[in-house]
Structure 1
Amino acid sequence: MSALHTVKVDGEARYDILIGPGLLGDARIAHTLRGKHALIVSDANVAPLYADRVEAALRSGRPALHVARYVMPAGEQEKTLARFCECLDALAALGATRDAAVIALGGGVVGDLAGFAAACWMRGIDVVQIPTTLLSMVDSSVGGKTAVDLPAGKNLVGAFHAPRAVIADTAVLRTLPARELRAGLAEVVKYGAVFDENFFSWLEAHASALVAGEDAALAEAIARSCQYKAEVVSRDPFEHGERALLNFGHTFGHAIECELGYAGTDRDALNHGEAVAVGMVLAARLSAAVGRAPLSDARRVETLLQHLGLPTAIPAGLDAPALLARMRLDKKAVAGGLRFILLNHIGDATVVSGVPDQAVLEVLRAG
């Protein structure tokens, strides 16, 4: 194994993010565990590919470990309270004690649901995040946000529960479907847009290499994205301040996902990363519409996303007032109304409350 990157997350909950090829079969996975029980949580797409390898690594490092699996159907539509309860039932059947661990092996859906189960079982046990998509490597596996969806909205039931470790095996990205790779790149763009114009420029220069899945470019993008998120999470673990900047594009994106019914597996629908890509374009346009950022920055965001093969327009048939209504129920809304993450310029963003509904509606209708 070579090219191992380690990103340290500090703050109240300290843990390491390991990034590199070949980590799924490495015994250091077992070294993260404290007790005698481990539940591997995965989905029907990922488990056949990687669960045996992870279990073998666990047993190699801890021969006396009791290991079980909970494999859920794949897809955002499965991130429900019913699947969450099945995961808890699997922990009960394993006899998981307070020092047990949940091993979240999969993309963001698995990571969110497994992390929430770990947060709730006996009021909180360890979770080790092993993300298998680019999107989950650079976003959902880091920072301790866990949740399931309700029909009324995305991620409305959840908890903050920091992982014990994050282990990102970059080799799995070589077989990731092209659409899923592009979806992850949307979250990578987010970090450049809100934190670092130099990184945004680097992404513009390396867009073709990233879309082609070149190992060196992806490893650099993952490590830098995780470093940005680790720094913010260590300072603001519960999203009371600057961590909200990580939601750039998400207020719009989550509303689009919810209106589409989380049907991101359908060819004509949008998955999470695609919805966030559209949301970032809308947020950048709103930034210009309210006079915070130049329109040229919105065009620059849109152009980069298009070069990465991501959608930049609201799907046909979605109603602007209905999307606005969804936003009002979004978990990022506060008592005073909607909050948006808006650009001052690329590399610098801020949380803005009190944006007029009419301005939002105009952006949605033009989107």
Structure 2
Amino acid sequence: MLCVNVELKERRYPIHIGAGLLSDNSVYPLKSGDKVMIVTNPTVAQHYLSQVTDTLEKIGCTVKNVQLPDGEQYKTLDSLNLIFTALLRENYGRDATIVALGGGVIGDVAGYAAASYQRGVRFIQIPTTLLAQVDSSVGGKTAVNHELGKNMIGAFYQPCTVIIDTLTLNTLPKREVNAGLAEVIKYGAILDYPFFEWLEQHIDALVALDQEKLQQCIARCCQIKADVVARDETEKGDRALLNLGHTFGHAIETHLGYGNWLHGEAVAAGSMMAAVLSEMLGDLSAQEAARLEKLLVRANLPTVSPDTMQPEDYLPHMMRDKKVLAGKLRLILLKSLGQAYVATDTDQDKVLAAIRRCTQTD
């Protein structure tokens, strides 16, 4: 088992990474008599709910669960309210613990519920998708979507523990595995060139779910994010760099309707748009942009805009992005592979030109 710590002083917490951890009661910071509400969805529940419930009951916890509909389109205030209703019906108080068992949607909604219920209760992240394991379960970003924008309603609220059982990826659809690799590649592109080179060597093993390489990869991603979060928990500086491709990607998700493209797929295409724009601005070399594109393609990820979107469709969504300040578009761009920066007030004509270069052609 590998362990990475998120260093936030009195809110410091561990990320446990290994195979078979769902049944390892030593990684759960719980004791006999604790009241636990597991938040999951039917897809994950059929594989892992009984396993986690059995482990927690062996510890001596009282365990209930609430199952949300499965899919990004259900990352809503209505789903949030289902969790509140379940907690209230069971008379759970401020000593309750919420366990998020699932992917990024479950983690985000359950985390926001934990931040809000009786002004804050403890919660544990058990991410079951690669994207959640390397990104959304770490760092305390919790939110739900609004029809006008992704993740617009939420809070920064840290878990007390993250438990990553890499065996859960064996039941994940290949498309979801590939989507998670978009966030993996992002880390190398923005902050860690040696890791980017490592990915070029081992991406095929990751696609094939090689357990040893997966655990190494997840640990490195979590360490990079943990270091950034420790420096900038509420995204006032360095943490914004973790959003490479996300402003473009969120526009894709919002325009197409949540769930039509997976988050990682949208981020992959958005990362390529950011790379092309970086090249147009004279920063990233054409050779580096080509290396990023090749790695994304090897991970079976899209590198072009959806064929149902026009370049002009992007900007209205992008101007509602959380990183927009004083009406100015802020994007994460690349000086080189392994070195990202925040670009402020980027010329919109150049942004549109970069999107056009990443538009599908016959």
The answer to whether the superposition gives a TM-score over 0.5 is yes
- SS at structure 1 position matched to 2:163: strand
Determine helix, strand or coil for the equivalent of 1:73: coil
Q: Is the 8 A contact 1:35 1:101 kept in 2?
A: no
Alignment of 1:352-367 (within 5 A): 352-367=343-358
Secondary structure at the residue paired with 1:285?
A: helix
1:51 counterpart (49, 52, 63)? 49
Distance in 1 (alpha carbons) for counterparts of 2:262 and 2:33: 36
Q: Alpha-carbon deviation of 1:67? A: 1.6
* Cα distance change on mapping 1:137 and 1:232 into 2, 3 Å: same
For 1:223 and 1:195, locate their aligned partners in 2 and report how far apart those are by CA, in whole Å: 15
Residue 107 of structure 1 is matched in structure 2 by: 103
Any residues of structure 2 matched to 1:1-367 within 5 Å, and which? 4-12=1-9, 13-32=11-30, 36-61=34-59, 63=60, 65-264=61-260, 270-367=261-358
Partner SS for 2:123: strand
Letter paired with 2:107 = G
Question: Aligned AA for 2:112?
Answer: F
Distance 1:353 1:99, change over 3 A: same
Secondary structure, aligned partner of 1:46: helix
Amino acid corresponding to residue 129 of structure 2 in structure 1: T
Q: How far apart are the structure 1 equivalents of 2:98 and 2:25?
A: 16
CA contact 1:249–1:277 (8 Å) conserved in 2: yes
Q: What is the letter of the counterpart of residue 84 of structure 1?
A: L
How much has 1:366 moved relative to structure 2?
A: 2.0
- Write the distance in 1 (CA, Å) between the matches of 2:274 and 2:30: 39
Please say if residues 146 and 159 of structure 1, whose CA atoms lie closer than 8 Å, have aligned partners that are also in contact. Answer: yes
Q: Deviations over 1:89-132 (max 9, x none)?
A: 11111212112110000000000000000000011111100000
1:216-241: CA deviation from partner (whole Å, max 9, x where unpaired): 11111101000000000011110010
Kindly indicate whether the alpha-carbon contact (under 8 Å) linking 1:336 and 1:353 is maintained by their aligned counterparts in 2: no
Q: Secondary structure at the match of 2:319?
A: helix
Distance, in Å, in 2 between the alignment partners of 1:325 and 1:258 is 11
SS at match of 1:45: helix
RMSD over aligned Cα atoms:
1.2
8 A Cα contact 1:37 1:94, kept in partner: no
| C-alpha deviation, 1:34, in angstroms | 9.3
Task: Give percent identity, aligned residues only.
Answer: 48
TM-score (norm 1): 0.95
Aligned partners of 1:39 and 1:102 also within 8 Å? yes
Give the alignment's TM-score, normalised by structure 2: 0.96
The alpha-carbon deviation at position 301 of structure 1 amounts to: 0.8
Aligned residues: 357
Relative distance call for 1:295 and 1:221 in structure 2 (3 A) is: same
After TM superposition, where is structure 1 displaced by more than 6 Å over at least 4 residues in a row? none
Structure 2 unaligned blocks of 5 or more: none
Q: Distance in 2 between matches of 1:11 and 1:116?
A: 19
Q: Deviations over 1:125-159 (max 9, x none)?
A: 11100000010000000000000001001100000
Q: Structure 1 residue 29: deviation in Å? A: 4.7
Letter in 1 for 2:12: R
Secondary structure at the residue paired with 1:206? Answer: helix
In structure 1, C-alpha distance between the alignment counterparts of 2:228 and 2:102, rounded to whole Å? 24
**Cα drift, residue 319 of structure 1:** 2.1
Q: Which runs of 5+ in 1 are unaligned?
A: 265-269
Change (3 A) 1:301 1:207: same
